[in-house]
Amino acid sequence: MAAFWQTYGSTVLLLINLGVVLGVWAVLKRFQRQIRHIMTTQVSETVLEQIEPLMREAASIAEQFDRQIQEKKALIHTLNQSLETRMAEAEQILNKAHAATRKGLSRAATATAHTPAASAGGDLQAAIIDLHAEGMGVDEISDTLSIPRGEVQLVLDLKAKFLALKNGA
């Protein structure tokens, strides 16, 4: 065996050294992987710890934004209802004004029919009496002929007294 060691001893030692070097290299690689894994895990945890507050804050801001959007929607709905109510009221007022205008035009036509006769004869009293005979009240006659209400009332009172005297005599 001594001859074996003399011939192949350095080769065997070289192979043993190579095996030890490869073993140490494999162990170092394994440690390196574990260290990388540990470092990656630590870095990941650190990044997650830094990101978590940002994510919570973003979620809080998103919730607040959603609440504000809901409030704006409710406000828009309320404003739409208010606008619709006002539009309906305006339409009613417009319809009343239109009806009053038609009634006013009708009165004006009636007044025009009576006024020339009254103006021609110089007798506004006849126009007042004719309109009263058609069923118009004091206010309507006053508006139609554009004369004071008191004057219309006076003419009608005088006509009633004149008829009472005439019937009484």
Q: How many CB atoms lie within 10 A of CB 138?
A: 17
pLDDT of residue 119: 47
Between CA 88 and CA 90 the distance in angstroms is 5
Q: Do residues 129 and 156 make contact, with C-beta atoms less than 8 angstroms apart?
A: yes
Q: 83 CB contacts (<8 Å, ≥6 apart)? A: none
pLDDT digit string (tens) for 63-81? 999 999 999 999 999 999 9
Dmax over Cα atoms in the chain, in whole Å?
A: 182
Residue of 107, 154, 106 whose CA lies nearest to 129: 154
pLDDT at 108: 56
* Amino acid at site 79: L
In degrees and rounded to multiples of 5, residue 147 shows phi and psi of -130, 160
Q: What does the alpha-carbon distance between residue 71 and residue 132 come to, in Å, rounded to a whole number?
A: 61
Question: Among positive and negative, which fits the CA dihedral 33, 35, 41, 44?
Answer: negative
Length of the chain: 169
pLDDT tens string 90-130: 888 777 777 766 665 565 555 555 554 444 434 788 889 88
pTM for the whole structure: 0.37
- 103 or 53: whose pLDDT is higher? 53
Residue 81 is predicted with a pLDDT of 93
